[in-house]
Amino acid sequence: MIERYNIQGAVAPRGPYSHAVRAGDFIYVSGQGPIDPATNDFSYGTIEHETRIVLNNLKLILEAAGASMADVVKCSVFLRDGKDFAAMNSVYGEFFGEAKPARTTVESKFANPTMKVEIDCIAYKPKA
């Protein structure tokens, strides 16, 4: 069975997609940018600032879908500038600690040229 999640209190999707989709025991979370869910506006700043907002958005969606950051098995990280890797990685480590998911990180051109980072993830959380 497939379930689609549109999470109240999360950033409103900017297109025709769900915040997350559960397919069996996997939860696929759509890419999140540095958007403050309180204002639903972009919150630009340092790569650390933007990464923290993005990961908090992922965490909020995962928790609403019944999972946690510890359940994440794969992340894809998109950086506007590859030189931001070390600073992004430092904040990323704060959110995952010892629960290190598989990850791909690429330099990318964004439709919104001001943002510095976008991250999506896949979590594994069997239904109780």
Predicted confidence at residue 1, as pLDDT, reads: 85
Confidence class of residue 65 from pLDDT cuts 50, 70 and 90? very high
pLDDT at 6 > cutoff 80:
yes
pTM for the whole structure: 0.95
Predicted confidence at residue 87, as pLDDT, reads: 98
For the chain, what's the residue count? 128
